[in-house]
Structure 1
Amino acid sequence: MVQSSVLGFPRMGKLRDLKKATEAYWGGKISRDDLLAEGKRLRQEHWKIQKDAGVDIIPSNDFAFYDQVLDHIQLFGVIPERYSKYNLHPVDEYFAMGRGLQKPDEGVDVPSLEMVKWFDSNYHYVKPTLQDNQTFKLAANPKPVVEFLEAKEAGVVTRPVILGPVSFLVLAKADRGQSVDPITQLDNLLPVYVELLNKLKAAGVEDVQIDEPILVFDLAAKAKAAFKPAYEKLGNLGAQAPRLTLATYFGDIVHNIDVLSSLQNLHGIHVDLVRNPEQLDTVIGALGPNQVLSAGVVDGRNIWKTNFQAAIEKVELAIQKLGKDRVIVATSSSLLHVPHTLASEKNLDAEIRDWFSFAVEKTAEVVIIAKAVTEGPASVKEQLEANAKSVQSRASSKRTNDPAVKARQASVTPEQHNRKSPFPVRHAEQGKSINLPLFPTTTIGSFPQTKEIRIQRNKFTKGEITPEEYEKFIEKEIQDVIKIQEELDLDVFVHGEPERNDMVQYFGERLTGYVFTTHAWVQSYGSRCVRPPIIVGDVSRPAPMTVKESKYAVSISKKPCKGMITGPVTCLRWSFPRDDVHQSVQAQQLALALRDEVVDLEAAGIQVIQVDEPALREGLPLRAGAEREAYLKWAVDAFRLATAGVTDNTQVHSHFCYSEFQDFFHAIAALDADVLSIENSKSDAKLLKVFIDEAYPRHIGPGVYDIHSPRVPSEQEIKDRIEEMLQYLRPDQLWVNPDCGLKTRQWPETKAAITNMNNAAKYFRQKYSS
């Protein structure tokens, strides 16, 4: 028979239970035992959901209090001395690595490890950080063993999920000041994996899912060569170890098919047939005579119902070549990237709700598909008919198509993508109207979203206060934020975004073509959850979205105040996009809507406009080549279309996350923004060398401190960071700003950090004033 499988389940719980528990623990409101108990409750609840749905292969060790890679860092003892020296409880050491820890009274002050995007998703993982003399040691009570036994005691037999050794090392980096090449540590790491697999077998584990997602990358020769010796060792442990199913996702592995062909001692191979269905024949051809194919046909990254007919056709093609006993129906990836359950969404329009499937519903989908190909379509006739009706309803709905939007897209000209004048001319004009000092200081956009802001927004949403009352409240918040920035003596202000729930949701709620959920939260990092809006149809802007608040802020500001907009690529990437229209089409529609907003902001007297594109790097295709260049072309065009409608006097800023941009720097330069700010505080300043190599002429603000952590950096720490930056950037092009927006921080730490940042900027301003 064909089995069904889920590669991973969301951790947060139906009502963001894990977020609430971890934040309560960080705030000292619950004990460590309470936190651990809540984690256990959630794990058992999620295993039961999958068991009750009829899933055959249920994952364990997919749960994490912060991040699954951070779990492995602790599991293998890859803990830098700056954390281990404090002799913290393992739970607190874990969170210190994830988010930093600062306890002045106890002499504890340590920043977090670097955090970067998990492949091309909006999930963030903590980067393993290795030393030159790195050693590896398995934790005394290995988490994968503990959670397998926990599930077994609850009556659920699971398949533990672990990150494979090659991916763990390729995704790692050398610590600052170290020169170790992580992949060279494979021989030292493999004995720990052997020990772990032996312990899992002793606990009763028969099968292990071992994730090697880096197989979708263009691999360096050393990384590619590491697979054969690694899995010759791990796959040949015999009866003393579990069977291994190697899982890949988020792309195809055809370009690494020679690696797959060398791994025939493994039990099975999982591939993502949603992202790349065309790889099926090649992968089947590379399997060993007894290997199992796990066919990822249910989308783990988006919320649309699976088209059962199309999925069944893929699975039956595999069955024709391999037989039913060698095929598993699976999710394409972990369901970590989709919301918990559609059952919580009581307010969605019935027609549109019928198009969606969240994590709980997707567990049912893999079971239905597996049953259809095992017992025949008649065994699930009712479900197949309902699914076909849903798919047809969406395809024929008038709500997905807007002729006016399509007509406007057809009329876009190349000239609309270009500013009136080149940067030197614009810079001179802006200097006359926006008088800024050397090392100008600013923030990225948002200030702390206080409890009071959330309470008032919730009251307004529920109709408990009038629009006029809410508007007065927002104006008071803007007044307070402007006053604080005056006291902090920043050079370019922001209005603080108190009216905004999320940087994408806020705009989506004011655009046609979007729908919204109530409880469809998805983990972004740690306890941070987002509720991505869903693009269901063609997008347009019925009315101005940010002009009122920005105009008010400018009217009460003594210094320039930025208008803040989320860019078209980020609006696309941080939504659940349509899967029936190419993303370039959706990005252009968003760009045209945002272009209208940018022009209206300028007309309202806003001279500095920031159009954020933090997802630009995230959206980059994982492999170099034609697909990547095509993406960069339409992504850059979308940004330029959104921003090029203003005069030379208006200074256009953009912000994007992470400094890993060497491979596509030409696209960063092509954005033609007057000022870029980037998330950079945890990265090596040497990455800024590309600005010299490419003679980048415009202005840049590499982040000087990490906003993901509550830790307050010292003034000297920020000075040291700026000093590093000045090795690669000219004083006249360097802006000083935090890494990202400050909405998740508290006011005391925010004020303290910005004070230190501003003092550091003034030090260099004085130093270079002559």
Structure 2
Amino acid sequence: MVKTYAYGFPRLGKQREFKTLIESYWSGKLTEEELKEGIKNLNEKREKTYRSYVDAFPQGEMTLYDNLFDTALIFGIYKADTLDEYFSLCRGKNALEMTKWFNTNYHYLVPDFEGKEKEFSISWNKHEEIKESAYLIGPFTLLKLSKNLPEGKFAALLKSLACKYAEYFKLNGFKSVHLDEPAFVMELSDKEIEAIKDAYSVFEDIDTKINVFTYYDSVDNLQFVFDLPVAGVGIDLVHDRGENLSQLDSVDPKGKTLFAGVIDGRNVWRADLFEKAEIVKKLSEKFEVVVTNAAPLFHLPVNLKGATLPEELVAKVAFAEEKLKELKLISDVLEGDDAKAKEWVEGISKAFGVRENVRERVRNLTDEDFNKAVPYAERIKLQQEILKLPLFPTTTIGSFPQTQEVRRVRLLNRKGQLADEDYKTFIKGEIAKAIKIQEELGVDVFVHGEFERSDMVEFFAEKLEGIATTGNGWVISYGTRSYRPPIIFGDVERIEPMTVEEIAFAQSLTDKPVKGMLTGPVTIIAWSYCREDIPVSEVAYQIGLALRDEIADYEKAGIKIVQIDEAAFREKAPIKKRNWDEYFDWAVKSFRVCHAKSKPETQIHSHMCYSEFGEIIEYILAMDFDVISIEASRSKGDIIEAFEKVNFDRQIGLGVWDIHSPYVPSVDEMKEIVERALKVIPKENFWVNPDCGLKTRRWEECIPAIRNIVKLANTLREEA
């Protein structure tokens, strides 16, 4: 009988119990003991779900914020003797830098070795109650994703860290360990591979069985992983571009178990179970195979129960619990019981959502559709003449606090308990308040606040044809922050204006420019579950054309600035740089198709956050925006180094306030970031703004922080 194994099941809970528990502790509504008891109960519920479908799973996956951070705490990179000290490193004044986990929308806290002692220690026994299949992020991934490692010391640090892992395994007497090593799929140098081999050699003499899991892409040299002193190797056979599977023909198993990741842990489409079963059957001729998911399941909602999806779509998709079911069904097929599997896959090949007019429009795109007729140097002069902005213009990124009242009224409208006209009146009232606050604070470029928007992607999914929303399909983005990824299932089309009414109303209330706010094609795709039956580039161009039509309507309504957020531009890039050109070709073009036909005097902004920008700066420039705003507060302005290497002739706003923390930075703290930036960026090109949108913050935090931003800008103008 083929065994089944699963990992990464969502910790969030069907009703977002994780979020409620943690945030209730933060607000003082729960004691530490009550929090721990609640998390324990939630984890027991998770593990019960595992047991309902699969033979085995790892223990210790639960975290109070982030597993990479937990691993850094275990081995003494950080110390937190109390829960409040733990959370202060996650979200307080001293919060660690946060960035995207490989090419996903999950964010991790980045361990920083600057100024730290280089000796590892076992500082926290997170797994003391666990004896079997303990979950840990592996030593290589932990170090590879850290920053400011001492130069030339990587191999020595890795060996030292691996020794502490071995000590930790012995301390707890683990029978087996699940080590997540997704960094193995990166483009590793020969030195890195040798360092891994040397570090893992310390595991040869321990009794604990180690199973190492790679995912999100292929491993360039699979044999080296099978040569390690481990009991089993997990590989991704979904997002590997076929490279893992082809390598297996020549790999010497060395007696290791192959954890064959044949079920997609990142996208929602149901698997062809019979095709997967054939892959497993063939592999079983050479390997001892355990069937598993190809990536952690926390990228998916908990289950389909209560999902608000079209009936045709329900028959095509599977969330995390249903993915566990697929693993069981594959095992059943291999045992000769295929009746339930046949029923499960019955609807996956039935097409719907085809719009021939949309496809024709994409087919007819020419070079003119991707390139502005007027170059930036001429556009910026026209824009300055019209906008008349001062030096160091101030703005915010888009959203303002989504208060309990805003959420309550939106829910009433969704439930049909509040008429649409009454809801619109309420939203206009909130917009008017936001405009008044910005006027009083002295902001230069306004936003309308996005009170009508539940989420920057979900909102547009509700307005566009060909995209479905899930109702309660929540997943974690970082910490307790959750969102509901839509499902792009068909050809995407804009039937009518989506955001013009609210933006135009806001503009009617002030003489200051109000930004039209759009979410770009790449981010809509990255933060949705995208169809796989046509090239992703075609999906991007379809969305880009819909946004082009929206911008044309903005211009008719007198909107002079349009921001197209592409927060996921770097995130969506393939892990292996050799695949970047193909990706960035369509990613850049999809952004340009949005604005290439806009008037030269319409100023185009973009926004990106929490990514490593330095290595993609040339691709960013190719987007041909006029102004970009990016994160800089948690990285303390490290991003500036990227701009020293290129001729960056556009305007830029570096985020000076980390909006993911309740801490309100002082003028001096913000100024430190700006002064560093001004060594590289001309003052004429510099904007002052927060890192990101403010929907998760409270007005009590926003108003003083924005006031400080305006004070900072005024100080900079006086000193200029």
With the shorter chain as reference, the TM-score category is: over 0.9
Report the CA distance between 1:206 and its aligned residue.
2.2
Counterpart secondary structure, 1:189:
helix
Deviations 1:248-299 (A, max 9, x none): 000000x233532531x21111100011244224135334331111000011
Contact 2:222–2:244 at 8 Å: present in 1 too? no
Q: Does 1:229 align with 2:195?
A: no
Find the counterpart in structure 2 of residue 168 from structure 1. 142
Contact 1:436–1:491 at 8 Å: present in 2 too? yes
Q: Does 1:191 align with 2:163?
A: yes
Find the counterpart in structure 2 of residue 337 from structure 1. 299
Find the counterpart in structure 1 of residue 423 from structure 2. 470
Find the counterpart in structure 1 of residue 573 from structure 2. 620
**Aligned AA (1:190):** A
Report the CA distance between 1:636 and its aligned residue.
0.4
Report the CA distance between 1:645 and its aligned residue.
1.6
Select the residue among 215, 225, 241 that pairs with 1:249: 215
Find the counterpart in structure 1 of residue 232 from structure 2. 268
Report the CA distance between 1:587 and its aligned residue.
0.5
Find the counterpart in structure 2 of residue 113 from structure 1. 96
Find the counterpart in structure 1 of residue 310 from structure 2. 349
Find the counterpart in structure 2 of residue 291 from structure 1. 256
Find the counterpart in structure 2 of residue 67 from structure 1. 66
- Alignment RMSD: 1.6
Contact 1:420–1:647 at 8 Å: present in 2 too? no
Deviations 1:374-424 (A, max 9, x none): x22xx2x2212113312233xxx2x23211111111111110111220011
Pairing of 1:70-469 with structure 2 (within 5 A): 70-79=69-78, 89-100=81-92, 110-130=93-113, 131-140=115-124, 142-146=125-129, 148=130, 159-174=133-148, 184-201=156-173, 205-234=174-203, 236-239=204-207, 242-253=208-219, 255-257=220-222, 259-263=224-228, 265-276=229-240, 277-283=242-248, 285-322=250-287, 326-345=288-307, 347-373=308-334, 375-376=335-336, 379=337, 381-393=338-350, 397=351, 399-469=352-422
Give the length in aligned residue pairs. Answer: 718
Counterpart secondary structure, 1:296:
strand
**Aligned AA (2:347):** S
Find the counterpart in structure 2 of residue 704 from structure 1. 656
Report the CA distance between 1:343 and its aligned residue.
1.7
Contact 1:132–1:180 at 8 Å: present in 2 too? no
Greater shift, 360-369 or 667-676, is seen at 360-369
Summarize the Cα distance change of 1:710–1:221 in structure 2 as closer, same or farther, 3 Å threshold: farther
Contact 1:513–1:537 at 8 Å: present in 2 too? yes
Report the CA distance between 1:184 and its aligned residue.
4.1
Measure the CA separation in 2 of the matches of 1:352 and 1:696. Answer: 45
Report the CA distance between 1:90 and its aligned residue.
2.5
Measure the CA separation in 1 of the matches of 2:611 and 2:42. Answer: 36
Select the residue among 715, 733, 740 that pairs with 2:685: 733
Measure the CA separation in 2 of the matches of 1:645 and 1:599. Answer: 8
Q: Does 1:746 align with 2:701?
A: no
Counterpart secondary structure, 1:736:
strand
Measure the CA separation in 1 of the matches of 2:116 and 2:86. Answer: 22
Deviations 1:313-357 (A, max 9, x none): 2111201222xxx10000011101000011232x43222111111
**% identical aligned pairs:** 39
Contact 2:569–2:608 at 8 Å: present in 1 too? yes
Measure the CA separation in 2 of the matches of 1:261 and 1:315. Answer: 18
Counterpart secondary structure, 1:37:
helix
Measure the CA separation in 2 of the matches of 1:759 and 1:302. Answer: 45
Contact 2:399–2:447 at 8 Å: present in 1 too? yes
Measure the CA separation in 2 of the matches of 1:400 and 1:294. Answer: 36
Find the counterpart in structure 2 of residue 152 from structure 1. none
Contact 2:614–2:643 at 8 Å: present in 1 too? no
Measure the CA separation in 2 of the matches of 1:26 and 1:415. Answer: 52
Report the CA distance between 1:174 and its aligned residue.
2.1
Report the CA distance between 1:94 and its aligned residue.
1.5
Report the CA distance between 1:372 and its aligned residue.
2.1
Summarize the Cα distance change of 1:221–1:96 in structure 2 as closer, same or farther, 3 Å threshold: farther
**Aligned AA (1:135):** E
Counterpart secondary structure, 2:261:
strand
Counterpart secondary structure, 1:328:
strand
Find the counterpart in structure 2 of residue 580 from structure 1. 533
Measure the CA separation in 2 of the matches of 1:712 and 1:182. Answer: 36
Contact 1:284–1:293 at 8 Å: present in 2 too? no
Measure the CA separation in 2 of the matches of 1:302 and 1:257. Answer: 24
Contact 2:159–2:195 at 8 Å: present in 1 too? no
Contact 2:226–2:254 at 8 Å: present in 1 too? no
**Aligned AA (2:105):** N
**Aligned AA (2:533):** D
**Aligned AA (2:660):** H
Select the residue among 468, 471, 496 that pairs with 1:543: 496
Contact 2:223–2:252 at 8 Å: present in 1 too? no
Report the CA distance between 1:181 and its aligned residue.
5.4
Measure the CA separation in 2 of the matches of 1:310 and 1:656. Answer: 39
Measure the CA separation in 2 of the matches of 1:328 and 1:719. Answer: 55
Contact 1:173–1:182 at 8 Å: present in 2 too? no
Measure the CA separation in 1 of the matches of 2:702 and 2:153. Answer: 36
Unaligned stretches of 5+ in structure 2?
none
TM-score by length of 1: 0.91
Report the CA distance between 1:183 and its aligned residue.
5.2
TM-score by length of 2: 0.97
Larger relative helix fraction: 1
Measure the CA separation in 2 of the matches of 1:672 and 1:692. Answer: 19
Greater shift, 685-694 or 121-130, is seen at 685-694
Contact 2:515–2:559 at 8 Å: present in 1 too? yes
Unaligned stretches of 5+ in structure 1?
101-109, 150-157
Contact 1:159–1:207 at 8 Å: present in 2 too? yes
Deviations 1:515-569 (A, max 9, x none): 1111110000001000011011110000000000000001102311101000011
Q: Does 1:662 align with 2:614?
A: yes
Counterpart secondary structure, 2:121:
coil
Counterpart secondary structure, 1:496:
coil
Counterpart secondary structure, 2:133:
strand
Contact 1:659–1:680 at 8 Å: present in 2 too? no
Contact 2:2–2:331 at 8 Å: present in 1 too? yes
Find the counterpart in structure 1 of residue 433 from structure 2. 480
Contact 1:144–1:162 at 8 Å: present in 2 too? no
Contact 1:609–1:652 at 8 Å: present in 2 too? yes
Contact 1:691–1:728 at 8 Å: present in 2 too? yes
Measure the CA separation in 2 of the matches of 1:162 and 1:689. Answer: 33
Report the CA distance between 1:672 and its aligned residue.
0.6
**Aligned AA (2:630):** I
Q: Does 1:690 align with 2:654?
A: no
**Aligned AA (1:245):** N
Deviations 1:502-524 (A, max 9, x none): 00000010000011111110000
Contact 1:10–1:335 at 8 Å: present in 2 too? yes
Measure the CA separation in 1 of the matches of 2:243 and 2:152. Answer: 38
Q: Does 1:41 align with 2:41?
A: yes
Measure the CA separation in 1 of the matches of 2:142 and 2:248. Answer: 23
